[in-house]
Amino acid sequence: MSIIHNDDQLAIATETRRILDARTSKERLLGLLEQTGAHDQLFWDTVVAQGWTAMAIPEEFGGLGLGLVELGLVAQACGAATAGSPFLTSNYGAACALMAGGNTFWLPKLASGEAIAAIAMAEGNAPLPPAPAVRFAGDRLDGIKSAVTGGLKADFAVVWAHRESSPVLVLAELATVERREVASYDNSRLYADLMFNGTPGTVLAEGEAARSLALDMLARMAVVTAHEQVGGAEAMLHIARDYALSRKAFGQPIGAFQSIKHRIAEMYGLVEIARANCIHAAAREGQDDFLIAAADARISATEAYDTCARDCMHIHGGIGVTWEQGLHLHMRRARSLAVEQGNLFFWEDLLVDQLSREST
């Protein structure tokens, strides 16, 4: 397919930005950073009302039957607004796993926004450990998944576990699972430790099939996150540019100084490279080279958001670190998104591995 957005897709992007501009509040979002266990309910109500939860779910399960391109555009607008909940990405990942695993019970609930999903795969600093510590035996899960994104509010989770001598992807309801709040740099992500103690589970995939499905699910979620990072990076670029044009020093805008204008130019380059990689990755959904494209998008978007958030604050000087300025929203979100679905080292290693396989 073309990697140029068509009129319908551009309309989705424009309308999403308009809605979020009207319904997001810097003060409300800053408040979420200072408390654990809360998310922006107004934002999530908006997501559900607009049908964004249904975008990438087939029509037969109550979805809209769209794809990663359209969902990515919504995620990009959410990134610019530093939307105060992580459920859009985790619900998409769970829907991919459920469709591939042939378990469709939760799909209509995900499409309607009635249910919230969590993806519990990482352990320690490994996004996809080869031998998970969480065990699945006799249709029961035992063990702890730490700092699960959205785990504090999720209704069910897709869990990466180990059974006998092979990995397994398990669907587990969380109604009876003990959860422990995790205070973090970005509390709006609702991180929680999930403590499984004989929790019933249903197998979605096992062995190499489970590993392939988990990696594909991780890549799809990473592309959504990369779009969100691009949206945040672009917002930081625009804020830095506007400040550099209005703030004066020695009788002229600070944007006239090379140290500022060159930094903003570098930010622009990083944003556009990441944007192109995200569009390409979304367009390659379901293709043989999708994993490589997803890794490209994830790496470039992480670098763009981290750099733009940091440099925007530097350009603002001392006022940039004040709470009222609001740049903390992007600084903290850039850091939290940089480690969800795997950090740069994971994706760089994965990219090298995939390229090495292609060359042999």
Position 1 scores a pLDDT of 45
pTM score, whole prediction:
0.96
The 3-state DSSP class for residue 27 equals helix
Phi and psi, residue 23, nearest 5°: -120, 10
Position 357 scores a pLDDT of 86
What are 121-135's pLDDT values in tens digits?
A: 999 889 999 999 999
Position 3 scores a pLDDT of 66
Tokens of 286: 């379901």
Tokens of 323: 């709470």
What are 299-320's pLDDT values in tens digits?
A: 999 999 999 999 999 999 989 8
Residues of the chain with pLDDT under 50: 1
Report yes or no: 204 and 170 within 8 Å, Cβ to Cβ.
yes
The 3-state DSSP class for residue 9 equals helix
